[in-house]
Amino acid sequence: MRVHLTTERLVISPLTDADAAAFTAYRRVPEVARYQSWGTDYTLADAAALIAAQPVNGLPAAGEWAQWGLRLGTERPAALVGDIAVGADAAQPDTYELGVTLDPQHQGRGYAAEGLTAIIDWLMADHGAHRIVMQGDARNAAVLALMRRLRLRHEGSIVEGDWFKGEWTTLERFAVLRREWHAD
């Protein structure tokens, strides 16, 4: 079964070769790369390699990551507005980590929250997820606001615990359990 989710405004499915140019373009934007693992020197070849390494049906096995595109369902061909990375924990069963990136042209419209909500719903209801975690740099106000808007539970701060781009940085960790997600 290949992942294919739809929301009010978005279609969510694994990245394909056709996404490489748009994906590369927004990854190179300084504000997008600032708190992420890549830099503004991200290349089309980097994107092609990432896409080629995707799990076959788009679903990550334990210890793997998959990258799903957020596409505007109303546009033909559907425009890529961003992506969500879904990682399956290597050590704990039914435990996933999510990371999200939007093209700056499409930020401030609720697409990240809409995409994450659909993916959390699907992982919890259809894929047996027990716990989903997200983390963000303590200086990344946009992602912290997003995790709070989704009502994820703040689990703690890893204070200056991450050597990142030449400095010690603090990470804020959030999580939600299936029983919490369905609580209201």
Ligand X SMILES: CC(C)(COP(=O)(O)OP(=O)(O)OC[C@H]1O[C@@H](n2cnc3c(N)ncnc32)[C@H](O)[C@@H]1OP(=O)(O)O)[C@@H](O)C(=O)NCCC(=O)NCCS
Binding site for ligand X (CB under 6 A): 32, 35-36, 99-102, 107-113, 136, 140, 142-143, 145-146
Least distance (Å) between residue 62 CB and ligand X:
21
Q: C-beta of 21: minimal distance to ligand X in Å?
A: 18
CB of 14 to ligand X, least distance (A): 19
Residues 152 and 119: their CA atoms lie apart, in Å, by 14
Comparing CA positions, the residue from 182, 172, 69, 65 lying closest to residue 129 is 182
Instruction: Provide, rounded to whole angstroms, the least separation between the CB of residue 155 and ligand X.
Output: 15
Radius of gyration of the chain (CA): 16
Q: Which is nearer to ligand X, 55 or 110 (CB)?
A: 110
Nearer to ligand X, 20 or 143 (CB): 143
Which CB sits closer to ligand X, 14 or 136? Answer: 136
In the complex with ligand X, which residue's Cβ is closer, 37 or 184?
A: 37
Closer by beta carbon to ligand X, 57 or else 105: 105
Between vectors from CA 15 to CA 10 and to CA 20, what angle results, nearest 5°?
Answer: 110
- Residue 86 is inside which H or E element, if any? strand 80-88
The nearest distance, CB 38 to ligand X, in angstroms, is 10
For residue 118 the two structure tokens come to 């659909």
Give the shortest CB-107-to-ligand X separation in angstroms: 3
Distance CA 141, CA 35 (A): 11
The residue number with the shortest CB distance to ligand X is 110
Interatomic CA distance for residues 164 and 64, integer angstroms: 22
- 63 CB burial (10 A radius; 0-12, 13-18, 19+): exposed
Which residue lies nearer to ligand X by CB, 23 or 111? 111
Task: Using alpha carbons, select from 74, 18, 27, 92 the residue that is nearest to residue 51.
Answer: 18
